[in-house]
Amino acid sequence: MDKRKIRKIAYGGILTGLVLVATMFLQMPNGLGGYINLGDGVIFASAILLGPFAGLVGALGAATSDFLLAYGVYVPATFAIKGAMGLTAGIMLRSRKGDSYFFKALTFLICEVIMVGGYFAFETMLFGLSVSVPSIMPNIVQGVAGIAVGLALTPIMHKVIESEKFSV
């Protein structure tokens, strides 16, 4: 196996763990009675570094955190939603190699729409509108935090790419 593939797998494992930690332990009150976490930002950082492989990183890290936090009912939805976010960001960022913050912000916004819509659909099917509608605003706040963290981590990921001669 070539060194780049090994490095990509190693970074994928590390970033999966960081998604887990950022989701479980890096939480802040959202002002709406709940908490936001920083896991989405790490998923976006993973997409910058790993391309579409970030789909697996996001799916495994976030779903494992739901499992460990005893939100077992959400594990399949989180796996699919966070996986779709990482995959979408990875594909979009790979297709356009530019360093434009605007393009990254737009990419991250599209991914957060996937998150809000995905959880809305899941919660509507499982619990009904009485649960899914009130969760929209906290999920939007979560999305804004994810975009902000992803953009803040962008320069760090570019330094890793440059220093490691890393290519996805």
Domain hosting 74: range is 3-164
pLDDT, residue 96, reads 66
The proportion of the chain whose per-residue pLDDT surpasses 90, expressed as a percent, equals 65
**What digits encode the pLDDT tens for the residues 16-67?**
999 999 998 877 776 666 678 899 999 999 999 999 999 999 999 999 999 9
Q: Mean pLDDT across the chain, nearest whole number?
A: 89
Neighbours of 115 (CB within 10 A): 22
Identity of the amino acid at 35: Y
CATH number, position 40? 1.10.1760.20
CA 25 distance to own-chain centroid = 15
Sign of CA dihedral 78, 98, 103, 39: positive
Look at 164 and 163; give whichever has higher pLDDT. 163
What's the whole-model pTM score? 0.90
